[in-house]
């Protein structure tokens, strides 16, 4: 029995199609476009997470600030998701692709990536640091102290 299954698998292997990553510089199908938009969001999310980890490392001596920033980030995630729901509301029991068409995954991922990049830029203020004498910098460390 095992030999028969192995034989069938080996016989079918030459006919199998393996999913390839699309060329995101020139995607050729809607599926490729959607996949590339998802990959773009993943890249934006990875950058956000990298900035987040850098802030945690540079501000490890300020646990109260990190607790507040973590709370802020949780709320930002809720905001992001609510913003996307407001942009693309879907009636209960409906399918978003039916409602918005085949471009929905591309548009949704694009909007999510845009919001994520905006948040990343906001968070970078803690990595860039404040200029000497900036009396309104709050928890942002002096830029000279971050080097």
Angle at 114 between CA 109 and CA 115, to 5 degrees: 100
- Identify the CATH class of 28-129: mainly alpha
The average pLDDT across 17-30 equals 79
- Answer whether residue 100 shows pLDDT above 50: yes
Other CB atoms within a 10 A radius of the CB of residue 112 amount to 21
Please state the pTM of the whole predicted model: 0.83
Question: How confident is the prediction for the chain on average, in pLDDT?
Answer: 89
Residue 20 pLDDT grade (very low, low, confident, very high; cuts 50, 70, 90): confident
Share of the chain above pLDDT 70, in %: 87
Residue 21 pLDDT grade (very low, low, confident, very high; cuts 50, 70, 90): confident
């Amino acid at each position: 029995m095992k030999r028969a299954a192995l034989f069938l698998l080996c016989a079918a292997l030459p006919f199998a199609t393996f999913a390839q990553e699309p060329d995101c510089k020139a995607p050729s199908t809607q599926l490729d476009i959607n996949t590339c938009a998802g990959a773009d969001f993943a890249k934006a999310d990875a950058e956000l997470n990298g900035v987040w980890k850098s802030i945690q490392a540079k501000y490890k001596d300020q646990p109260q600030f990190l607790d507040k920033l973590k709370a802020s980030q949780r709320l930002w995630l809720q905001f992001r998701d609510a913003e996307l729901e407001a942009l693309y509301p879907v009636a209960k029991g409906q399918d978003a692709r039916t409602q918005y068409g085949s471009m929905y995954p591309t548009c949704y991922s694009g909007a999510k990536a845009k919001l994520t990049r905006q948040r990343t830029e906001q968070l970078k203020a803690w990595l860039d640091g404040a200029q000497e004498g900036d009396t309104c910098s709050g928890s942002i460390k002096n830029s000279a102290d971050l080097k």
